[in-house]
Amino acid sequence: MVETAALTLRDYRTDVKPIWCPGCGDFGVLSSTHKALVQLQLRPENVVIASGIGCSSRLPYFVKTYGIHGLHGRSLPLATGMKLARPDLTVLAYGGDGDMFSIGTGHTPHAARRNVDITAVCMDNQIYGLTKAQTSPTSVRGYKSKSTPYGSPDEPLNPVLLALASGASFVARAYSARAKELTDLLIKGIQHKGFAFIHVKSPCVEFINTYDMLDRLVEEMPVDHDPSDLQAAMNLAVTEEKVHVGVFYESERPVYEEVAHSWFKPTDFDADAFFRRF
Amino acid sequence: MGKSEIIIRLAGEGGEGVISAGDMFTAGAARLGYQVFTFRTYPSQIKGGPAWYQIRVSDKSVLSMGDGVDVLIAFNEEGYRDHIGELNKDGVLIYDPDTVTPDGKGHTSYPVPFNEISRKKLDFFRGKNLVVLGTMSALFGLDPGSLEGMVRSRLARRAELLTKNLESLDHGYNYARKNIEKSDPYYLAATEKISRVVMGGNEAVAAGALAAGCRFYGGYPITPATEIFLTLAAELPKVGGVCFQAEDEMAAIGSVIGASIGGSKAMTATSGPGLSLMTEFLGYATIAEVPCVIADVQRGGPATGLPTKNEQSDFFHAVYGGHGDAPRIVVAPGSVEDCIYQTINAFNLAERYQMPVLLLSDQSLSHRTETFLPPDLSHVRLEERLTANGAAGAEFARYKLTENGISPVTIPGRPGTYSSPGLEHDEKGAPTTASKWHIAMTDKRFRKLDLAAKEGAASPRYGVRNAEIGIIGWGGTEGAIREAVDRAVAKGYKVAALHPKMVHPLTKGEIEKFVSPLKKVIVPEINYQGQFAHYLRGTLGIDVVRLNKYDGLPFCPGDIFQKIEEVI
Ligand SMILES: Cc1ncc(C[n+]2csc(CCOP(=O)(O)OP(=O)(O)O)c2C)c(N)n1
Ligand code: SF4
Ligand SMILES: [Mg+2]
């Protein structure tokens, strides 16, 4: 089938109205996702977006591609199965900080080290939005919410550092309010061959409005940062004075599904031959 | 004239060669054309602890592990003490005088110094299992030449071991020939050499999956299900599939659901603890209507329970486990060969009704070996889910409310996008909390279950037509039940058995028809609660006589026969 007309934003929008509060950072992520798909001209039927549960994880309903709104924390296994079975498709996984770094944390490092060619986007608002403002694994120490009324005693988890330490072959950070940069990073992540992790700071206006703070702290990567230098990427990831956005790390490694499909030239299952071996 | 059916039990410590000697005897006997049924049990550790292996070998068909023991081969004192009580009237004890001191009462016994022969004479202790095998072949009539051929083919690539192993086999054989005056009745008559498949239930499940068109497996190792995973890890890449070792069971079933939405036939296999972890996703597969197969090879529970022992105690979990009104289908194979067919059946049901299908195997079924003629799968019908092509650029109404509940689905890569929902949804899959949609979609999902019950295949029935006593069993107890029925019928009792393979939903009419003329219905199962009995009572109002055991072991035909005599 020859498609002549270029795909536009309209081709990726659905009729389902986002449930997010006005001003929620997730709108920025959605809009940049639409734009990235337009710029890449990926046909909607060739893209699958898997997600977990949370405000952020509603995103697949608002993008006219195939979607899987899964279970809390389980976007990565769903995306992994999809990509291994269908390497021809572009597969993305979206989720919140609770989704990917609390209930689903068990999956995140494994997806990273395996290097399945999927793009994982963590929409981090440092809170459990959907369940109405409980402390999340990225909430800062001392943070007071209804679940930690006397201040959270926990040290927060560092998503970028964890992704780097787990062997993700592409690690970046973006800020939902800086649309152009976010779109570019999504495009890079999708184009990257292997597991791409994009940590998006996506404020929750309803329960913890971090826009002012982020506007102050967000800064581009130092110009001399070398994204092939893992150590330098880790150093930047632990910097507390600034929230760096851009590509922390990028490298090329064998992709899981290519290896897994390379061992044999597939043939049909020969039942008779199989039973003869027993 | 010897008795051409023998139940041999090897008992000793794990890692001592009990299992490998049993395996080789089984393979050798099958090669010679005998039919074999084995059972094994071993501790949940790598070395040590009590292990035993039972081989029932016959020139006729064998459907269960049989009753009692004809020949006990005790490797150590514990093996002797724990099992001697089960020796049958004419039974023989073979033991190593080095390690076992029998009290010498009431049975034939042959001392054979296995340790001394292997350690002192041959300086090759690892060959002890072959010394045992040689002795067995001399005493019970397995052609040593054929056993030698088997050892040669097994060790074809390990020349350095071959000579020593053959020597061990020889020594065992010659020792028995020279030193034992045979006074027992067991001797296998020569039989026609028919080539049979010698297989365990897990390998059979894997074979069924491959034949059904399964091209994705996501799994996490767990006893006693692991061999399904291992077989598919070796085979799937050859047929263009992927076998994925996940980080846990949630990832395993998650990947299976992802692959299935992508259009693949996909499965996972686990045991109780893993099934518990998969349960949230089972509900997801129900609401999102994703075809997938989950094999649960049951073991003793709860928690870690008895990892290497047999139980049928996951029936409730398979049928009802998890939250919500969540229909799914459950099938249970009755024998190793049936594992092939029920796995294919599970895939067909999953595809046709677009829902999760659980395959309930068990430890005994998975780790026993049975012999059967090579199956001809060329005529087996395979089903594919109902698919559609959507219009380019339009969203597809994936969850159309159809009359029978089955809605066509689009596959990624083709037009007609939709989002697979874990939330209640409308026909397009868009989330909604409206009562009308929850009612409509719940009804739709259960319409499919009703249809599955209506379209279900007939269950095998054994025994007499005008039965007064009936047995309804499920899963891996089928062979023991059949043999018990045969024995009862031979004694003139009016007994019949029905063994449904789709155990949920039940093909109601058929079961009611079976039950209505009966005076008593016995439901044998290996669990404390009588889970299937409860289910029969709850769904069909049938009052049954329960026969339960929960000792970690399968039924013997005698257990069931005894119950028949009790209720008659
Ligand atoms: C197994 C399970 N446990 C708990 C929940 C309840 N729950 C839904 S969303 C959520 C947290 C969401 O936080 P996050 O992932 O950060 O997403 P956000 O809403 O902030 O975007 C929780 C705890 C659930 N849906 N499933
Ligand atoms: S609660 Fe917070 S995260 Fe959720 S939609 Fe509202 S602003 Fe966004
Ligand atoms: Mg959050």
pLDDT per residue as tens digits for the range B156-208: 888 888 999 999 999 999 999 999 999 999 999 888 989 999 999 999 999 99
Give yes or no: residues B117 and B244 share one domain: no
From B179, B212, B237, give the residue that closes a domain: B179
Contact B247 A66 (CB under 8 A): no
**Peptide bond connecting B554 to the previous residue in cis, omega within 30 degrees of 0:** no
Instruction: Determine which of A4-18, A94-108, B39-53, B72-86 has the lowest per-residue pLDDT on average.
Output: B39-53
Residue A110 lies in a domain: yes
Q: How far is B288 from chain A (nearest CA, A)?
A: 9
Percent residues over pLDDT 90 in chain B: 90
Asked if pLDDT for residue B542 goes beyond 60, the answer is yes
Contact B207 A274 (CB under 8 A): yes
Give yes or no: residues B362 and B499 share one domain: no
Domain count, chain B: 4
From B429, B455, B481, give the residue that closes a domain: B455
Residue A3 lies in a domain: no
**What mean pLDDT value characterizes chain B?**
95
Asked if pLDDT for residue A1 goes beyond 60, the answer is no
What are the residues facing B330 on neighbouring strands? B358, B504
Residue B512 lies in a domain: yes
pLDDT per residue as tens digits for the range A246-259: 999 999 999 999 99
pLDDT at A4: 62
Give yes or no: residues B413 and B296 share one domain: no
Closest CA to B67 of B6, B132, B155, B24: B6
Range of the domain at B282: 199-372
| CATH number of the domain enclosing B41 | 3.40.920.10
| DSSP H or E stretch at residue A192 | none
pLDDT at B2: 72
Range of the domain at A83: 20-276
Residue B367 lies in a domain: yes
Partner B contacted by A272 (CB < 8 A): yes
pLDDT per residue as tens digits for the range B438-473: 999 999 999 999 999 999 999 999 999 999 999 999
Q: Which atom of ligand 1 is nearest to the CA of A57?
A: 21
CA distance B281 to B220: 15
Give B513-519's long-range contacts (Cβ < 8 A, gap of 24+). B514/B461, B514/B470, B514/B472, B515/B470, B515/B472, B515/B540, B515/B542, B517/B466, B517/B467, B517/B468, B518/B467, B518/B468, B518/B469, B518/B470, B519/B468, B519/B469
| DSSP H or E stretch at residue B458 | none
Contacts of B417 in chain A (CB under 8 A): 44-45, 64-67
Domain count, chain A: 1
Give B115-119's long-range contacts (Cβ < 8 A, gap of 24+). B117/B168, B117/B171, B117/B172, B117/B175, B118/B168
Give the rounded distance of the alpha carbon of B186 from its chain centre: 29
Residue A10 lies in a domain: no
In the sheet with B502-504, reading across from the earlier edge strand, the strands are B242-245, B214-219, B265-270, B292-298, B356-362, B329-331, B502-504
Give yes or no: residues B433 and B545 share one domain: no
What are the residues facing B294 on neighbouring strands? B268, B358
Asked if pLDDT for residue B1 goes beyond 60, the answer is no
pLDDT per residue as tens digits for the range B378-396: 999 999 999 999 999 999 9
pLDDT at B17: 81
Closest residue by Cα to atom 5, ligand 2, is: A20
Give yes or no: residues B155 and B252 share one domain: no
More confidently predicted of A240 and B104 = A240
N- to C-terminal Cα distance for chain A? 47
Give yes or no: residues B451 and B465 share one domain: no
* B159-179 and B144-154 helices, crossing angle to 10°: 160
pLDDT at B155: 85
Q: Beta strand pairing status for B356-362 and B369-372?
A: unpaired
With H, G, I as helix, E, B as strand and everything else as coil, classify residue B3: strand
CA of A216 to the centre of ligand 3 (A): 21
**pLDDT band at residue B16 using 50, 70 and 90 as cut-offs:** confident
What one-character-per-residue DSSP string does A12-44 give? GB-SSPP-PPTT-THHHHHHHHHHHHHHHT--G
Give yes or no: residues B218 and B332 share one domain: yes
Contacts (Cβ under 8 Å, ≥6 apart) of A100: A52, A73, A75, A76, A107, A108, A120, A122, A159
Give yes or no: residues B479 and B432 share one domain: no
Asked if pLDDT for residue A2 goes beyond 60, the answer is no
Q: How far is B412 from chain A (nearest CA, A)?
A: 6
A positions 93-152 inside 8 Å of B (CB) = 106-107, 110
Residue A94 lies in a domain: yes
Give A262-268's long-range contacts (Cβ < 8 A, gap of 24+). A263/B237, A264/B237, A264/B238, A264/B240, A266/B238, A266/B239, A266/B240, A267/B238, A267/B239, A268/B239
CA distance B72 to B54: 9
pLDDT per residue as tens digits for the range A23-71: 999 999 999 999 999 999 999 999 999 999 999 999 999 999 999 999 9
| CATH number of the domain enclosing A239 | 3.40.50.970
Q: Beta strand pairing status for A127-128 and A134-135?
A: antiparallel
Contact B216 A85 (CB under 8 A): yes
Task: Report the chain A residue with the minimal C-alpha distance to residue B426.
Answer: A16
Residue B363 lies in a domain: yes
Residue A266 lies in a domain: yes
Q: Which residue has the tokens 């190792």?
A: B221
Nearest neighbour of B280 by CB, restricted to A44, A68, A71: A71
Give yes or no: residues B524 and B507 share one domain: yes
CA distance B73 to B82: 12
Residue A8 lies in a domain: no
Residue B224 lies in a domain: yes
Q: How far is A48 from chain B (nearest CA, A)?
A: 7
**pLDDT band at residue B428 using 50, 70 and 90 as cut-offs:** very high
Closest CA to B167 of B131, B139, B137: B131
From B131, B148, B179, give the residue that closes a domain: B179
Give yes or no: residues B468 and B559 share one domain: yes
CA of A132 to the centre of ligand 2 (A): 9
Residue A219 lies in a domain: yes
CA distance B330 to B347: 11
**What mean pLDDT value characterizes chain A?**
97
pLDDT per residue as tens digits for the range B204-254: 999 999 999 999 999 999 999 999 999 999 999 999 999 999 999 999 999
pLDDT per residue as tens digits for the range B23-52: 999 999 999 999 999 999 888 777 778 899
pLDDT at B14: 81
pLDDT at B18: 85
Give yes or no: residues B263 and B231 share one domain: yes
Nearest neighbour of B374 by CB, restricted to A79, A110, A272: A272
Closest CA to A85 of B94, B217, B345: B217
Give yes or no: residues B500 and B422 share one domain: no
* B18-31 and B128-140 helices, crossing angle to 10°: 40
Residue B316 lies in a domain: yes
